[in-house]
Chains A and B, each alone.
Chain A
Amino acid sequence: AQSVTQLGSHVSVSEGALVLLRCNYSSSVPPYLFWYVQYPNQGLQLLLKYTSAATLVKGINGFEAEFKKSETSFHLTKPSAHMSDAAEYFCAVTWGNTNAGKSTFGDGTTLTVKP
């Protein structure tokens, strides 16, 4: 079965510290991978995506993620956390271009940034 696992439902970091949010997936075909951010009472906003081009993907707000096929991972990082980064983050996978947009989501990681 296709699945996405986000390790750690809650992550807390200090302002200025490294942010690392983990995502692993299971797939028998090359995936498209996405990270979305959701602020309270808002919809999902795309942070970045991997679609079989460069394995290191840079997104908005200073976030980046690296696709590692051997580890079936797509972890999200940011060198220095800002207070405004506090939100819920979702990793999502789409299997193949024919399924583009029809994603399977992880259960999310809530990021707290301490002053």
Chain B
Amino acid sequence: EAGVAQSPRYKIIEKRQSVAFWCNPISGHATLYWYQQILGQGPKLLIQFQNNGVVDDSQLPKDRFSAERLKGVDSTLKIQPAKLEDSAVYLCASRSTANTEAFFGQGTRLTVV
């Protein structure tokens, strides 16, 4: 089966600009996650969706980050305006109800200069 697809793979922007990342989960996976992985650290959960509803966004910096999954399939994560400390890899993952683990995409590496 096809894996989790993310685009773009790399993005360089200036601080205060906006950026958006796209994720298409594995077909049939109801749960979708966005993680932020800063260099030298493990991934940290930003937001969790169940179908098109938000389950947990407690760690999402809502003043600048937003995410949506309008039709319960693909998802976008947006940062506006970006800060230098947002430089990281943004990982999307999805999970079916039959699994205890999530399956990860290759990530989008964001560099804010």
Contacts and interface: CB of A to CB of B under 8 A. Distances in A.
Nearest to B43: A105
A68 B56 CA distance: 30
Given A43-B91, A44-B91, A103 B102 contact: yes
A101 B100 contact: yes
Contacts of A92: 42
Contacts, number: 64
A43 B104 contact: yes
Question: Size band of the A side of the interface?
Answer: 20 to 34
21 contacts: A4-B42, A32-B100, A34-B101, A43-B4, A43-B91, A44-B43, A49-B100, A49-B101, A51-B100, A100-B99, A100-B100, A100-B101, A101-B93, A101-B95, A101-B100, A102-B56, A103-B45, A104-B45, A105-B42, A107-B40, A107-B42
